[in-house]
Amino acid sequence: MNITFRQLRLVLALADTGSVSAAARAMHVTQPTASMQLKEVARSVGLPLFEMAGRKLQLTDAGRELAATARALAQTWDAFEQHVDALKGLARGRLRVSVVSTAQYFMPRLLGSFCNRHPAIDVALEVLNRDGVVQRLRENRDDLYIMSMPPADLALGDEVFMPNPIVLIAPAADPLAGRRKVPLRELAAHRFILREQGSGTRMTADRFFRRMKFRPQLRLELGSNEAVKEAVAGGLGVGVVSRHALHGLQKEHGVSVVDVEGFPLASSWHIVHPAGRKLSPLALAFRQHLLKEVGRRRRDAA
């Protein structure tokens, strides 16, 4: 096969964007040029790379395999460029990080302090629900992934770097908020507002409720911490969120943490990546920065 590296990047752009026109824009070429290049790649492979299902473009098996190969080659080349820059005493390149939505409460500051030390780097930060981050992890699309419940069916490099306590919240004016050591059984009469199925917070809560043989009366399942807080503040019930969603506070925006039997639930933030992936110098530096910065903050708070 005679396929150029630039053509491989075009295939990768097609896989990431889902359209020829968007791939062309990403590669800064015209759509006719992109179409011609993709046809050349398909001829070289000997199989079609994509097909149209109605108005939606879908990669064929060959297209998906080629995109995965292109992604691996692009990551290897990016790592090589970073190694060369490091030998020259430079710190350049792009760091790709995917985080679950709850990490948005602390990750921008940690990224900011890292970028202040390495002003020449670019950062691509994806903030998604857990399913979205796990999907990107399976596709090996980023350097590092931040989540609280890594998938058990993947071989991973996995390092715990920070606690993620899960708390129960109620409206700030609710009598529950002023009590201590509330028995869990008393909450049987309350309606619960929980994160969606598949989120790390929901998985931790469900595991605890099963262990305690407690069945919460579910009123709402919501896709974000902010939505849960607003619903609780509006008097729709009690909720379960990460303490990070409250910026570490006991009270925030009309809700208050309740001292309930068994809470806060123990959970941790993990830095993960596919076990077979060799981390780039930037990824290694960022991982070390996270561990060092979180350790410093915990010492300062002690």
Is there a domain that residue 16 lies in? Answer: yes
Is there a single domain that holds both residue 159 and residue 278? Answer: yes
Enclosing domain of residue 31? 5-66
Q: Which pLDDT score is estimated for 88?
A: 59
235 and 176 within one domain: yes
The pLDDT of residue 300 is 66
Domain count, the chain: 3
Q: Residue 124: inside a domain, yes or no?
A: yes
Question: Cα(213)–Cα(215) distance, rounded to whole angstroms?
Answer: 7
3-state secondary structure string across 98-147: EEEHHHHHCHHHHHHHHHHHCCCEEEEEEEECHHHHHHHHHCCCCCEEEE
Task: Write the CATH number for 23.
Answer: 1.10.10.10
Q: What is the CB neighbour count within 10 angstroms for residue 244?
A: 23
| pLDDT, tens digit (0-9, with 9 covering 90-100), for 71-121 | 888 888 887 877 777 665 556 778 999 999 999 999 999 999 898 888 888
100 is a domain residue: yes
Let me know if residue 77 belongs to a domain. no
Residue 38 shares a structural domain with residue 156: no
Record the pTM.
Answer: 0.72
Provide the percentage of residues in the chain whose pLDDT is more than 70: 96
Q: What is the mean pLDDT of residues 56-80?
A: 88
In a domain, 80, yes or no: no
**Does 21 map to a domain?**
yes
pLDDT at 76: 84
Do 180 and 146 lie in a common domain?
Answer: no
Kindly state whether residues 186 and 59 are assigned to the same domain: no
**59 in any annotated domain:** yes
20-29, 31-40, 48-57, 237-246, range with the lowest pLDDT: 48-57
CATH number at residue 218: 3.40.190.10
Query: Is residue 71 assigned to a domain?
Result: no
Looking at the structure, tell me whether residues 218 and 146 fall in a common domain. Answer: no
Report, as an integer, the average pLDDT of 137-146: 93
